[in-house]
Structure 1
Amino acid sequence: MEKKMSFGWAILPLLLMVIVMVFTIVVLEQGPHMPLIFGTVVAGLVALKHGFTWKDIEEMMYKGIRLALPAVIIIMLVGLVIGSWMGGGIVATMIYYGLQIISPAWFLVTILFICSIVSLAIGSSWSTMATIGVAGMGIGLSMGIPAGMIAGAVISGAYFGDKMSPLSDTTNLAAGLTGTNLFAHIKHMLWTTVPAYIIATIAFGVIGRQFAATNMESAEIQGMLSTIRDNFIVSPWLLLVPLFIIVLVAVKVPAMPALIVGIVLGMLSHVFVQGGSITEAVGALQSGFAIATGNDMVDALFNSGGIDNMMYTVSMTIIAMTFGGILEYSGMLKAIIQEILRFAKSTGSLVAATIASCFATNASCSEQYISIVVPARMFATAYRERGLHSKNLSRSLEDGGTLTSVFIPWNTCGVFIMSTLGVSVAQYAPYAILNFTVPIISIIFAFTGFTIIKLTEQEKVALAAEDKRLNEESLA
């Protein structure tokens, strides 16, 4: 289906979409849905001009949507989890004890560490943000810490674990697509990720010191604790629910069934612990948990969740993937990346081009998985021809793809964070320190040659033999 596409035509839909996106968001103060639809229409017209039929374009859009279906299901399940955990008093319990245990001065570092550990154990940034992250937002906001700072610490910790965990889907995807041993891939990523993590820890430690004077005995915080006690049954036993879900995912139970277990436990807590009716429990799943305590901060924290509140995110994801599907399957994205590759003459520029391509794919196709899959296909030959080990490519894919997805408002990761943590990209981007520091370190190392691994002669011979075997099999 793919046809030859010039760079000029290929980049046109993306450029026009970005221009309209900026105007719509900044000037009109509207959401990103209409610009994405506009971009999809332009991409479809460009495809028609290059000989594709309307049936071809429809199939491209359907393929793009199919890629997003797992993310759409997870987004809806997370809405159900939040609704049930709010109604079940699980989040209230986490916030209640968190307020009493965590020091405001060290809150950002603490939530960074907790999210890192949980995400490393379960291999999922989304599950970490939807559970620990939601509670962390509540605790931090109660301490008077700005939402963007809290979200930045949550995201940095969650993506550290997602990137470094052998259970992570993106980690396995990057290793598998490049033919790199999984643990060799993870070990190679330590060189760029650990320095960035240290920088993030120091930064959050310094930023957090401004909240050292926050009085945990203040009337506002004590009022919040009192309101939580008056409106929820707070019990340490409720903490077993998130702990159980973390254990399930850690022992390799897939995310979807693990989240379903979390929803059921949340509903049971709502009915049998909090004393709510079945009608109220089901309503919390559908339209979100609703409470009117008279305390504005408590009401703002707990009136959330439900599948209805995730439909904005779901619709944006589907529209974004129709746009990405046309770019990917018409060959536009390939033409853009090939043009970028023309300027990658040195090892440093090749790695920089890879990371830039991953970011561009995140922006154009709105899905972090595609930002790993497409550049992996495009750059594999270039890395091998220059005698570079495949783990250089696999690391660059994660440094540029997995981590930068959070900076695109219409990417599935960006919309998930906005709907789950309630914070916009513009608010948290300056504080997602790990996510923007890792790509910078990766590019610096590439230009200096530090940690760049070359293929040995034995490895070159082995790869040549494998290529010959595959060619013979294909001819046979």
Structure 2
Amino acid sequence: MERKITFGWAIVPLLVMIGVMLVTIVYLKQGPHIPLLVGTVAAGLVAWRFGFKWKEIEEGMYKGIRLALPAVIIIILIGLIIGSWIGGGIVATLILYGLEILTPAFFLVSIAIICAIVSLAIGSSWSTMGTVGVAGMGIGLSMGIPAPMVAGAIISGSYFGDKMSPLSDTTNLAAGLTNTDLFVHIKHMWYTTIPGFVIALAVYWYLGRNFSADGTNTSDIAQTASVLRESFVISPLLLLIPLIVFVMVARRVPAIPALIVGVLLGFLAQIFIQGSSVTDAVGALQGGFVIDSGNELVDELFNRGGLDSMMYTVSMILVAMSFGGILEHTGMLQAMMDKILKIAKTGGGVVAATVMSATATNAACAEQYVSIVVPSRMFAQSYKNKHLKSKNLSRALEDGGTLTSVFFAWNTCGVFIFGTLGVSAFEYAAFAVFNYAVPIISIIFAYTGFTIEKMSDEEIAELKMEKEEEPAPQV
């Protein structure tokens, strides 16, 4: 028996979750876990209403969780690396040298560009934010720049590099799912990505004018630098540790082994360079680094990291993926996509619908990878029917899926950023300029037809030939 859930019922769990989320976060000032649980219950009830058995609903939840397990491992390792790098003095060294080199007026522009370069080299926005980003937060806060602005610049730079790097998993995923050559895909993304990053840098330059060296409390910076020198052994040798990790990833060593090496080196640095005991070094890995310097800013920034600090993030991911798993595996997400496909009549409409659908999937399923995988399956035939080249689809998937994941506090990316940088999606959203500029540019290009490439006559002929060679469906 076919159990097709209608669009009206399919959006009920999403509306329930968003409604409870707004009340819980805005009025009750609580976290997003409970609203996601309520949404999961609502999704289960809708599925049950349409004849799905508990075993099937449960399996949908498990499938969603299994999809997020690689991300969970990365998150745990990032927690360990933050604890060990703070304890090992690596973060303090990066911050101190950054305070000496960077100026307040150009800090937002500088940190965005630095994160872009690092992320482009290693292909990982998360690894960049968990290492360079943490140090960047310390430098920016020491200069008196608001945390949401600093986080926004770090996110913009990190996602620019991730999106354009041939080493990025999402970049390879989007190209692979659409049968697009990787470098053709990357080249096609330049049209939307470069203007988006230029806009972001222009905004950061404009915002940075309010933080000139003359207007910055240099005594606070000097005091912060003094506390860092008193609390840690500062050495340029410590810069070799992040360099080793970045080189490993750039040379295509998988992220997990590279991060493990980073954790080990930070652990050893805490013992042999900072002079901590093995007990304290292990404690930094488990519960995070602990310092009582008397400087409020330093204490707030450096009392963090460790395995325990990431359990909030991990629990959020498990709940979010349970919710998303039910939506996808019971056909509710399909029902939403079908409705969108009916509205998209033109080629430009299909491209715009892809961007918006990927964004909606980020909200509904709370996972960046799902926002690429599901729309790629949903829209593939529509692009062929409109005689649009596959690189249009791969670009739209990244413009809408990869970038907008940061705007939802319950998405794995939003949760990771909160756990790593200490700023919530509701605070940094307005300053993650690159991440919303690119989808807007992509939609504008879709409706104007600019850079939207159609198949050649030869490609259309090949497509027709493939269709004719397909076996007729059996009755």
Structure 1 counterpart of 2:130, which letter? A
Structure 1 counterpart of 2:428, which letter? Y
Q: Do the aligned partners of 2:179 and 2:390 also contact (CA within 8 Å) in 1?
A: yes
Q: Which residue of 1 aligns with 2:355?
A: 355
Q: Distance in 2 between matches of 1:343 and 1:98?
A: 50
Q: Does 1:237 align with 2:219?
A: no
Q: Which residue of 2 aligns with 1:14?
A: 14
Q: Does 1:26 align with 2:26?
A: yes
Q: Distance in 1 between matches of 2:447 and 2:52?
A: 41
TM-score, reference length from structure 1:
0.97
Structure 1 counterpart of 2:79, which letter? G
Q: Distance in 1 between matches of 2:155 and 2:468?
A: 44
> How many aligned positions are there?
474
Displacement after TM superposition at 1:217 (Å): 7.7
Displacement after TM superposition at 1:209 (Å): 1.2
Q: Secondary structure at the match of 1:403?
A: helix
Identical aligned residues as a percent: 64
Q: Do the aligned partners of 1:143 and 1:214 also contact (CA within 8 Å) in 2?
A: no
TM-score, reference length from structure 2:
0.97
Q: Does 1:425 align with 2:425?
A: yes
Q: Do the aligned partners of 1:89 and 1:274 also contact (CA within 8 Å) in 2?
A: yes
Q: Do the aligned partners of 2:105 and 2:211 also contact (CA within 8 Å) in 1?
A: yes
Q: Distance in 1 between matches of 2:2 and 2:143?
A: 54
Q: Which residue of 2 aligns with 1:148?
A: 148
Q: Distance in 1 between matches of 2:217 and 2:386?
A: 62
For each residue in 1:318-363, what CA deviation from the matched residue of structure 2 results, as whole angstroms up to 9, or x when unmatched? 0000000000000000000100111111223222211111111001
For each residue in 1:169-228, what CA deviation from the matched residue of structure 2 results, as whole angstroms up to 9, or x when unmatched? 111111111111111111111000111111111111111111113467822111111111
- After the TM superposition, list the runs of 4 or more consecutive aligned residues in structure 1 that deviate by more than 6 angstroms: none
In structure 2, the CA distance between the partners of 1:45 and 1:248, relative to structure 1 (3 Å rule), is same
Q: Does 1:458 align with 2:458?
A: yes
Structure 2 counterpart of 1:285, which letter? L
For each residue in 1:274-332, what CA deviation from the matched residue of structure 2 results, as whole angstroms up to 9, or x when unmatched? 00000000000000000001111111111000110110000000000000000000000
Q: Secondary structure at the match of 1:166?
A: coil
For each residue in 1:74-101, what CA deviation from the matched residue of structure 2 results, as whole angstroms up to 9, or x when unmatched? 1111000000001000000000110001
Q: Distance in 1 between matches of 2:2 and 2:364?
A: 17
Q: Which residue of 2 aligns with 1:367?
A: 367
Q: Do the aligned partners of 1:104 and 1:214 also contact (CA within 8 Å) in 2?
A: no
Q: Which residue of 2 aligns with 1:56?
A: 56
Displacement after TM superposition at 1:464 (Å): 3.8
Q: Distance in 1 between matches of 2:422 and 2:389?
A: 41
Q: Which residue of 2 aligns with 1:42?
A: 42
Structure 1 counterpart of 2:462, which letter? A
For each residue in 1:437-460, what CA deviation from the matched residue of structure 2 results, as whole angstroms up to 9, or x when unmatched? 001111111111110100112112
Q: Which residue of 1 aligns with 2:126?
A: 126
Q: Distance in 1 between matches of 2:327 and 2:216?
A: 52
Q: Do the aligned partners of 1:2 and 1:330 also contact (CA within 8 Å) in 2?
A: no
In structure 2, the CA distance between the partners of 1:219 and 1:56, relative to structure 1 (3 Å rule), is same
Q: Distance in 1 between matches of 2:259 and 2:458?
A: 46
Structure 1 counterpart of 2:161, which letter? G
| 5+ long unaligned stretches in structure 1 | none
| 5+ long unaligned stretches in structure 2 | none
Displacement after TM superposition at 1:73 (Å): 0.8
Q: Distance in 2 between matches of 1:137 and 1:183?
A: 33
Q: Does 1:269 align with 2:255?
A: no
Structure 1 counterpart of 2:319, which letter? I
In structure 2, the CA distance between the partners of 1:182 and 1:474, relative to structure 1 (3 Å rule), is farther
In structure 2, the CA distance between the partners of 1:238 and 1:9, relative to structure 1 (3 Å rule), is same
Q: Distance in 2 between matches of 1:441 and 1:152?
A: 19
Q: Distance in 2 between matches of 1:118 and 1:2?
A: 49
